[in-house]
Structure 1
Amino acid sequence: MTEKPYAVPADRAQQIVDQWRTERPDLDATPFLVIGRLHRVAAALTTELVRVYAQFGLGEGEFDVLATLRRQGGDCALTPSDLSEQTVVTSGAVTKRVDRLEALGHVERRRSGTDGRSRLVALTPSGRRLIDEAFAAHLANEHRLLSVLSPEERADLERTLLVLSRSLDV
C-alpha cells in the first residue's frame, strides 16, 4: 500500500492565492504563499519574543542594546554610533534606549579614553545580571518556538532564509 503524500491544510495565504487565481488567472500569485506567510510568522514571532522581554521590564529595543553590549565580552563599552550600527537603528533611537537603560541603572555612560568629548556606553553589574537572565529566557523561548520543526526542517529553513536574506542584503 502506498502512502498518501502529506497534505497541508489551506491557510489564509492559500485562500488569498486561490481568490487571486479566480479573479486574475493571468497572474501568478504564488509568491504570496512564501512572502505572506513570512510576514505573518514574523509578526507572530515578534509578539512571542516581546512577551519574554517584558517579563524582565524590557522592550525590544532595550533588550537589543543590552544583548549587543553583553556579547562584546568582558567590560567592553561601545560608542552610541557603534550601538546604532550594530542594532540597525538611528542614533536618536539609540539615545532614547540608552537614556532609559541608564535611568534604570543597567548601563552607564563613560568618557572615552581617546576622545574626551566622546562617551562610551557600558553595562553596569545589574545590567549584566539582567541581560544574562533575560537572554537565557529568550533562548529557551526561541527553542520552544522552533520545537515544531524537526532538526532537518530547521536546517533546511536556516539555509533557505540565508539565501533569501543574502539576496536582500540583510
Structure 2
Amino acid sequence: MEALECDLLRYIGTLSRCIHSIMDEKFKAYGFQRGQFVFFTRICETPGLTLTDLTQQCAVDKATTTKAVDKLAAAGYVEKRRDSRDGRAWNVYPAEKGLAIYDAFIAEENRQAAACLAGLSDEDKAAALRLAAVMSRNAADEWNRMKR
C-alpha cells in the first residue's frame, strides 16, 4: 500500500472544515444554510459579479452556484439582474438586507483568521499568506483542467 507523502492537504482540509462548520453555525441565525456565506461575501465584495465568475471564484459547479444564489435571493440578501451586455448572463448584487449584515460576516471571518494565525509572527503570517496564495492558484489551475 502506498503511503501518504505529505500531510499538508490533510491539515488544510481540517482547517477548511472547521472554519466552515463554525461559520455555518454562526450564520444560522440569519437563515443561512451550509456554505452560503462563501457566495454571499463574494457577492458583497464584488457587486455585479456574473454567476460564471462567482462559480469560478468559489470553485464549484454552476448548479451549486445557481442554487445558492437563488436561495440567497429568495431570502432577500442578494439580487439577480440580467447582464446589460449579454442577455443570457446574470449579475448578482447585495440587496439592502444583505448589506445590513455584511459587516457581521466579515467581522466573524476576521475573527476566524486571527484565531487560525494566533501565535505566528508577522513574518510567519506573511509567509503563510504568500504560500497559501500560490497553492490556491495551483489548485485552481488543476480544477480548471479537470473541468475542461
Percent of aligned pairs with the same amino acid = 26
The answer on whether the counterparts of 1:53 and 1:138 sit within 8 Å (CA) in structure 2 is no
In structure 1, stretches of 5+ residues that fail to align are 1-23
**Is 2:106 aligned against 1:102?**
no
Q: Provide, for residues 63-103 of structure 1, a one-character-per-residue CA deviation record: whole Å limited to 9, x for no partner.
A: 1222112112xxx3233222212222111111111111111
Distance 1:29 1:99 in 2: 40
**Is 2:6 aligned against 1:31?**
yes
Q: Provide, for residues 30-87 of structure 1, a one-character-per-residue CA deviation record: whole Å limited to 9, x for no partner.
A: 633x444344333333333333333443245321222112112xxx323322221222
The answer on whether the counterparts of 1:84 and 1:94 sit within 8 Å (CA) in structure 2 is yes
For the pair shown, the structure with the greater C-alpha radius of gyration is 1
Tell me the equivalent position of 2:36.
62
Give the secondary structure class of the aligned counterpart of 1:31: coil
Please list, as runs of the form range in 1=range in 2, the aligned pairs for 1:1-170 lying within 5 A after superposition.
Answer: 31-32=6-7, 34-72=8-46, 76-168=47-139, 169=141
Distance 1:38 1:118 in 2: 34
Normalising by structure 2, report the TM-score.
0.72
Q: AA paired with 1:100? A: K
Aligned residues: 141
Q: Provide, for residues 105-131 of structure 1, a one-character-per-residue CA deviation record: whole Å limited to 9, x for no partner.
A: 111222332344543322111111122
Give the secondary structure class of the aligned counterpart of 1:120: strand
Higher RCO (CA < 8 A, seq sep 6+): 2
Give the secondary structure class of the aligned counterpart of 1:149: coil
In structure 2, stretches of 5+ residues that fail to align are 143-148
